[in-house]
Structure 1
Amino acid sequence: MSVRKRKWATASGEAREAWIVDYSDHEGDRCIKTFAKKRDADAFAAIATVEISQGIHTPASKTITVAEAGEDWIKTAEANHLERTTIDEYRRHLDLHIVPRLGRTKLADLSVPMVRAFEDALLADKRSQSLVRKIRVSLGSIIADAQERGHVSRNVVRELRSRRKRGKEKRAERRQKGKLRVGADIPAPTEIRALIEATEEGQFQALFLVGIFVGLRASELRGLRWEDVDLKKRELHVVQRANIHGDIGSPKSEAGHRTVPITPKLAAVLTKWKLASKKSDLGVVFSTRTGAVLDHANLMQRSWWPLQLKAGVTKPVLDESGRPKCDEDGRPMVQAKYSGLHCWRHFFASWCINRVADGGLELPAKVVQARLGHSSITVTMDTYGHLFPGGDDSERLADAEGKLWGQG
């Protein structure tokens, strides 16, 4: 392997120079790689020498681009029969973020600084820390898939990750998001009462009540079957869910398979709905007029948001400068306060956690974890730990302080 300087002149007579690394790979084929600086050429030569001796070096001329590797990665995901929603997310990461910035780059030319610059560019485009992390994970998976196919020897994303403190990014994300707040992320009990009073008998009333008193995920609500609802024992079994495409599948994790008790009034509402509802071929509790799985977006736009407007659970519509907007008659414009359905699950969690004196159930953390179907207690405590009531130890603190001061 040799590193040498090459000089030449352009057609216009302009002098140029570059550093050439001339070597043979582990298959005996001659390879040449050009660098603008000698230090970069020397660094590449040192790494290539070790890789060639280990039989893992892949010259840039024999590798493929990031875009081509991305397509192979998608095919692998499809061959492994991953969920459509997962493959759709992979496709968005690839087409919207990875290919536009790195698509033409050869895998062998990728470096840790390039990946870091890629992350910085995403953050500069106002992408959230959480999204950037997911996109980087997808890029790492693309390279890992290409490694298995023999297209590249190193996974620079893994090298980037190894240099970072474990858990540092997740802590930064949590700081950025902040803790869930009642009245902002979690409907307050007064708002829930107003919403319950505003609901009319029928499918959405039953769906809404199951959401706030059982805490199912939106996908679990939409995939719930009558055979999994035991009205006599007043309990509900979570054994399946429906993804955003309406495909039926297993819960998110093993812990997602669970049994949750239901309240007497909710059991009465479900009994009435069962008698009034049309039988679905899928056997689901909540369905369209044709018996299909309910569409998530339609639930929000046609039922959830109008219910909030009816119940007065609203927030002002703001203009670009953050000031409240008014309609043509000068009246303040309002919109539904809670955009998604996940706030129902947040309320259920807070209801389980709150003290009995405050209208809650005051359940232990492990019970809350089981009812929510979280994979670990860490997930429960990271999300809702701040809601658990803390003891008032002011009197004990004062007493202990007095003893230290010699007053006890």
Structure 2
Amino acid sequence: MPVYKDESKKKNKWWYEFEAGKKPNGKRNVIRKKGFFTEKEAKAAMVKAESEYYEGTYVDPSKTKFGVYLLDQWLPIKSLAGSTKEMYDSYIRNHVLGSLIAETPLANLTIIMIQDYIQMLKEKKIVIGKKKPKESSLSPNTIKKIYSIINTSLNDAVTMKKLKENPSKKIINKPANQKTKSTVWNQAQIRKFVEETEGKSRYSLAFRFTLMTGLRQAEVLGLRWKDVDFEKSVIRVQQTITHDGKTLKDGAKTDSSVRPVKLDVKTMNTLIKHYNMQQLERKQIETKVAEKKAAGKSFYNGRQYRDHDLVFCTVFGTPCTPRNLSRAYNSLLKEIDVPKITFHELRHTQATLLLTKNVHPKVVSERLGHSSVKITLDTYSHMLPEMQEVAAECLADVL
């Protein structure tokens, strides 16, 4: 068990090395570490490292910088939904790269470093808005997401034996989500919105459909006609669109999100009318293209109909981007006297309405695609007091 002294150095002269079997290519695997102040310190460290090696607990200190590990080694192999992976990539590039922890070798990360980094995020200022840019701080939820990425990646580094322990686990005052109560519509407001927006936008039905099903925006825009069972009045969520609207992907956010959702007769009849209208649009476009071809006239290739089998799409059959759907929604919202809620809060509105109407939480959970009833109850816990009142009234009627 040799320990050596490097006379060329003024301090930290001692180092050790020992042979640890063979590498996959058959060459000797030598473990060495430098930088010890005394011979005794070097020997103690070597005994510990050698013991850990033979016990199978030794972790070779990684020289890979944390930022490189995140983007080049961890994220590419991490099993995540497409939209989630895009979000992680954005957070890493915009908020982790360029920081001290990103430039630090994985093995050298410390609790204090990560603690200081989280504090830096809390104090960080960003500019939002293009037309009227203004300075803002990162939200607690954004900081929590960034911390979760770091923590998960370091847990995986421990699993892969790139690290001995995860320093981010031990920081104090870990970031937490800031719980905000969603605004939802009551029955009168839902009815007012549906009645006053009918036929005013190409996507009016998409908004009514979201209120009826509670689908996520990516699920609404990924829905295909082959996912609609007209005989059983059921849709099956089996495809989504990415946040940028460029890619349609099989599956959904989670395994539990791939699900059937029952629809009412009125919504199904509306879908049938919508399908017929869509087919008429397609025929008109294809007829125009054929006429121009026959006349030898040039036409823009993008104006041909491209069938993606989508229920909600552009006039040319191509996917509608989430951004354009939100624009259409917000434009309609300006014209109607109802509380301004986000597109995602249409989903919350549906769930809240069902719970207050005494629909069993398990049924609501299944419609929403939650992996457990607990998630549903935690998300909509603000509705529990009202549900308690309904329960009390039911008991009063019986007793």
Corresponding position of 2:379: 383
Q: How far does the alpha carbon of each residue in 1:54-101 deviate from its partner, in whole angstroms, 9 at most, with x for none? A: 132545xx6122232233225733xx7854433322322322222221
Counterpart-to-counterpart distance in 2, 1:117 and 1:265: 56
- CA contact under 8 A between 2:14 and 2:34: conserved in structure 1? yes
Structure 1 SS opposite 2:260 = strand
Q: CA deviation at 1:33?
A: 3.5
Corresponding position of 1:298: 324
Q: CA deviation at 1:297?
A: 0.4
One-letter identity of the residue aligned with 2:34: I
Structure 2 SS opposite 1:310 = coil
Corresponding position of 1:371: 367
CA distance 1:266–1:105, change in 2 (3 Å): same
The alignment's TM-score, normalised by the length of structure 2, stands at 0.71
Counterpart-to-counterpart distance in 1, 2:155 and 2:18: 21
Counterpart-to-counterpart distance in 1, 2:180 and 2:81: 30
Counterpart-to-counterpart distance in 2, 1:198 and 1:237: 28
Q: How far does the alpha carbon of each residue in 1:234-281 deviate from its partner, in whole angstroms, 9 at most, with x for none? A: 222222222223322202223222222222322222121111113562
- CA contact under 8 A between 1:366 and 1:377: conserved in structure 2? yes
For structure 2, the residue ranges without an aligned partner over 5 or more in a row are 20-29, 125-136, 283-305
- CA contact under 8 A between 1:147 and 1:153: conserved in structure 2? yes
One-letter identity of the residue aligned with 2:63: T
Corresponding position of 2:197: 199
Corresponding position of 1:275: 276
Counterpart-to-counterpart distance in 2, 1:108 and 1:72: 16
- CA contact under 8 A between 2:235 and 2:262: conserved in structure 1? yes
One-letter identity of the residue aligned with 2:371: S
Corresponding position of 1:154: 164
Query: Which 4+ runs in 1 deviate beyond 4 A?
Result: 25-30, 44-49, 80-83, 141-150
Note the 1:199-238 alignment, pairs <5 A: 199-201=197-199, 203-238=202-237
For structure 1, the residue ranges without an aligned partner over 5 or more in a row are 9-16, 315-336, 356-361, 398-408
Corresponding position of 1:284: 310
Q: How far does the alpha carbon of each residue in 1:296-332 deviate from its partner, in whole angstroms, 9 at most, with x for none? A: 001111x101111111336xxxxxxxxxxxxxxxxxx
Note the 1:2-401 alignment, pairs <5 A: 20=12, 22-27=14-19, 31-33=33-35, 50-55=48-53, 56-59=58-61, 63-73=63-73, 76-77=76-77, 83-101=81-99, 102-125=101-124, 126-143=137-154, 152-157=162-167, 160-161=168-169, 172-173=176-177, 176-180=178-182, 185-201=183-199, 203-244=202-243, 245-278=246-279, 281-301=307-327, 303-313=328-338, 337-338=340-341, 340-355=342-357, 362-388=358-384, 389-391=387-389
Counterpart-to-counterpart distance in 1, 2:60 and 2:260: 52
- CA contact under 8 A between 1:246 and 1:295: conserved in structure 2? no
Structure 2 SS opposite 1:237 = strand
Structure 1 SS opposite 2:319 = coil
Counterpart-to-counterpart distance in 2, 1:48 and 1:288: 67
One-letter identity of the residue aligned with 1:307: L
Counterpart-to-counterpart distance in 1, 2:67 and 2:110: 16
Counterpart-to-counterpart distance in 1, 2:332 and 2:234: 27
Structure 2 SS opposite 1:85 = helix
One-letter identity of the residue aligned with 2:370: H
CA distance 1:124–1:366, change in 2 (3 Å): same
Q: How far does the alpha carbon of each residue in 1:81-123 deviate from its partner, in whole angstroms, 9 at most, with x for none? A: 8544333223223222222212221222211221122122212
Q: How far does the alpha carbon of each residue in 1:363-396 deviate from its partner, in whole angstroms, 9 at most, with x for none? A: 01111111111111111010013314104759x9
- Equivalent pairs counted in the alignment come to 332
Counterpart-to-counterpart distance in 2, 1:140 and 1:23: 32
Structure 2 SS opposite 1:177 = coil
- CA contact under 8 A between 2:233 and 2:264: conserved in structure 1? yes
- CA contact under 8 A between 1:123 and 1:132: conserved in structure 2? yes
CA distance 1:70–1:295, change in 2 (3 Å): same
Identity fraction in percent? 24
Counterpart-to-counterpart distance in 1, 2:392 and 2:274: 48
Structure 1 SS opposite 2:236 = strand
CA distance 1:51–1:341, change in 2 (3 Å): farther
Structure 1 SS opposite 2:261 = strand
Counterpart-to-counterpart distance in 2, 1:393 and 1:233: 36
CA distance 1:291–1:57, change in 2 (3 Å): same
Moved more, 268-277 or 138-147: 138-147
Counterpart-to-counterpart distance in 2, 1:240 and 1:214: 15
Corresponding position of 1:327: none
One-letter identity of the residue aligned with 1:341: F
The alignment's TM-score, normalised by the length of structure 1, stands at 0.70
Counterpart-to-counterpart distance in 2, 1:193 and 1:377: 28
- CA contact under 8 A between 1:64 and 1:106: conserved in structure 2? yes
Q: How far does the alpha carbon of each residue in 1:109-144 deviate from its partner, in whole angstroms, 9 at most, with x for none? A: 211221122122212324333323332332345445
Q: CA deviation at 1:229?
A: 1.9
Structure 2 SS opposite 1:241 = strand
CA distance 1:66–1:310, change in 2 (3 Å): same
Structure 2 SS opposite 1:292 = coil
Q: CA deviation at 1:178?
A: 3.4
Structure 2 SS opposite 1:268 = helix
